[in-house]
Structure 1
Amino acid sequence: MNATRRRAKTAPSTTGGGLAGATRGRARNYTQMLGLIHQAAIEVFAAEGLTGASTQAIADQAGLSKAQLHYYIESKEALYRQVLQDIVNDWIGVFGFSDEALGPRKVLTELIQRRMQFSFDHPLRSRIFTAEMMRGAPAIREMMGASRQRTEQAAAVIRNWAQRGLMDPVDPLLFLFHLWAATQFYADHAAQVAFFRDASMSNEKDRRYLTENVTDFLLKAAGVR
């Protein structure tokens, strides 16, 4: 983790109050501890945002004292930036296009499925990204270079498919925005979806149903042949 302090001395004991029983009585190695802190930060940032979050809340969520937490991190802001960087890296992988020659139906179907799966499996990461964008993206803007390049490449592929008559002549960038919005909804508004459908978002059958419907809707909207 870029925002962590690399120290040669032995890490402080983490067997004290607050740690899960399974970890009591044995030291955690450095990598495991960073993972614990990272997950705690995701949960706190998703619930409170950067402004509302505190290192005390993150420490409590991780089962650490505040002093123990600050052994591993430089600051709340540095930890937040690292969480955002990891999310951006995730997006780059999720939004990757398959071989253009496979055509829009197969490539876009796979993309929508990956986006929906990410929304189902990592809603907190998605909400942190959305909240950062809603406040003007001050922390994440400098991290978006690779993501922008990947998006422009995807837009060029969509434009080529349209020129070849494989789909309607849509605005490729706006189509990607619509795809993002439709799939992101199931992360940011998971509670709303579960409430109105009286269904569990963790149920595999419900996930398949939602994914199939979103896929069908978006492909029809784009006039995919």
Structure 2
Amino acid sequence: MSTARSSAPQKSVEDGPETPATRGRARKYTQVLAVIYQAAVEVFANDGLAGASTQAIADKAGLSKAQLHYYIESKEALYRQILQDIINDWIGVFGFSDEAFGPRKVLADLVHRKMMFSFEHPLRSRIFTAEMMRGAPVLREMMGTSKQRTEQAVAVIQNWINQGLMGPVDPMLFLFHLWAVTQFYADHATQVAYFRNTAEGDDKDRRYLIEQVTDFLLKGASVR
């Protein structure tokens, strides 16, 4: 599963012969970009694009606003990059393994990857959800590859149905149901933990939730 990236839109460092000093500056530059990227994820997850400001991102990153703008072009460019990274990661998360393994293994693996991504990157998941809820004005133009992969997954599921390995579900809607149920655990982790009297982030509880969601979805689709 992909991990969070730190590829914030950035201004170029000066070209020139590589020396220990230039390598040190490049390393420092990369480290600051990673801090900015994580700060932006936190600010966008809490405030959205409209509510976020470069000042808030700078404060979170421990930089002045002037220093921040040395590293990034704009908050909009930074937001776009974060969304693109999320899409790229989710393409990997939602990718189907070998169709020949059958629906029980492939779908169980998919649920596991999706829920672990939600557990490990809740802020990134919330950014994606918030963007979709406002009509995906930025995200829409990035979704071509994701749509293509989803259509391929639909074809695989339909083939399993035709073979009698699953019940006669609507393949696209089944994927929507899978996404909705697993996404709940990213967007409502606090609620889940509170109602169940458990601690957020407990590994044993995460495994239990994954098992329960997997069993629910596979039974609902009459997976053989």
**Length-normalised TM-score, structure 1:** 0.90
- CA shift, 1:89, in A, is 0.5
CA contact (8 A) 2:8 2:33 kept: no
Q: Residue 91 of structure 2 aligns with which residue?
A: 92
Q: Which runs of 5+ in 2 are unaligned?
A: 1-6, 16-23
CA offset digits 1:13-36 (Å, max 9, x no partner): xxxxxxxxxxxxx97622211111
CA contact (8 A) 1:43 1:124 kept: yes
Q: Residue 219 of structure 1 aligns with which residue?
A: 218
**Length-normalised TM-score, structure 2:** 0.91
- CA shift, 1:122, in A, is 0.4
Q: Residue 101 of structure 1 aligns with which residue?
A: 100
- CA shift, 1:173, in A, is 0.5
1:110 to 2:116 alignment: no
- CA shift, 1:198, in A, is 1.2
CA contact (8 A) 1:120 1:202 kept: yes
1:3 to 2:2 alignment: no
Instruction: State the secondary structure of the residue aligned to 1:29.
Output: helix
Q: Give 1:183's aligned amino acid.
A: T
CA offset digits 1:177-222 (Å, max 9, x no partner): 0000000000001111011011112101100110000000000011
CA offset digits 1:41-63 (Å, max 9, x no partner): 00000000001100011011111
Q: Give 1:85's aligned amino acid.
A: Q
CA offset digits 1:146-203 (Å, max 9, x no partner): 1111100000000000000000011111000000000000000111101101111210
Q: Give 2:60's aligned amino acid.
A: Q
CA offset digits 1:44-88 (Å, max 9, x no partner): 000000011000110111111111100010001000000000000
- Report percent identity of matched pairs: 73
Instruction: State the secondary structure of the residue aligned to 2:166.
Output: coil
Q: Residue 154 of structure 1 aligns with which residue?
A: 153
**How far apart in 2 are the matches of 1:50 and 1:192?**
25
Q: Residue 195 of structure 2 aligns with which residue?
A: 196
- CA shift, 1:3, in A, is 2.3
CA contact (8 A) 1:127 1:188 kept: yes
Q: Residue 77 of structure 2 aligns with which residue?
A: 78
Provide the alpha-carbon RMSD of the alignment.
1.5
- CA shift, 1:138, in A, is 0.5
* Structure 1 segments (4+ residues) deviating >4 Å: none
CA offset digits 1:120-167 (Å, max 9, x no partner): 100000000000000000001111111111100000000000000000
Q: Give 1:8's aligned amino acid.
A: E
**How far apart in 2 are the matches of 1:188 and 1:81?**
21
Instruction: State the secondary structure of the residue aligned to 2:207.
Output: helix
